[in-house]
Amino acid sequence: MFRTISFFGLACWAPDVLSQDPNSMYNLLHEHIALVTFEQVAAGFGYSHLGIDLSLICNFTLMRKLYCNFVYSYMHGIAKSENDEVAEGDSGSQLTYHINIKDGRSTKVKSFFRMLDSQPKRRNCRAEHTREDPLTPLESELFALPKFTPIDWFDPGYWHTTLTVHERLDYIEHGVHIGLPLAEDCQTWEQCSLWKNLPVEEFMETYGNAVLALYKMPTAEEVEQLRQWGEELEELDLEAQLGDEGSGDEGSGGYEYNSMLMDMSATIILYLKPNK
Domain residue limits, the chain: 2-89, 97-212, 220-272
For residue 242, pLDDT beyond 50: yes
Average pLDDT over residues 91-111: 80
For residue 183, pLDDT beyond 60: yes
Cβ contact 189:119 at 8 Å: yes
Band (pLDDT 50/70/90 cuts) for residue 73 is confident
CB atoms < 10 A from the CB of 188, how many?
Answer: 11
Average pLDDT over residues 63-89: 73
Sign of CA dihedral 267, 273, 274, 275: negative
DSSP 122: P
Tell if the pTM clears 0.85, that is, is over it.
no
Average pLDDT over residues 13-36: 81
For residue 273, pLDDT beyond 90: no
Distance CA 61, CA 35 (A): 11
Q: What is the mean pLDDT of the chain?
A: 78
Write out the E strands in 32-153.
96-98, 130-132
Least confident of 61-65, 94-98, 196-200: 94-98
Most confident range (mean pLDDT) of 14-28, 106-120, 243-257 is 106-120
Q: What is the pLDDT of residue 174?
A: 85
For the chain, percent of residues with pLDDT exceeding 90: 21
Q: What is the pLDDT of residue 264?
A: 55
Q: What is the pLDDT of residue 153?
A: 94
Q: What is the pLDDT of residue 91?
A: 46
Say whether 98 sits in a helix, a strand or coil. Answer: strand
Higher-confidence position of 270 and 33: 33
Most confident range (mean pLDDT) of 5-19, 119-133, 235-249 is 5-19
Q: What are phi and psi of 96, to 5 degrees?
A: -125, 130
Write out the E strands in the chain.
96-98, 130-132
Contacts 24+ apart (CB under 8 A), 184-189: 186/108, 186/111, 186/112, 186/115, 187/111, 187/115, 188/115, 189/115, 189/116, 189/119
For residue 102, pLDDT beyond 70: yes
Q: What is the pLDDT of residue 276?
A: 43
Residues β-bridged to residue 101: 139
Most confident range (mean pLDDT) of 16-30, 152-166, 255-269 is 152-166
Q: What is the pLDDT of residue 49?
A: 77
CA nearest neighbour of 218 among 165, 177, 148: 165
Least confident of 86-90, 105-109, 122-126: 86-90
Surface-to-core class of residue 75, CB atoms within 10 Å of its CB (0-12 exposed, 13-18 middle, 19+ buried): middle
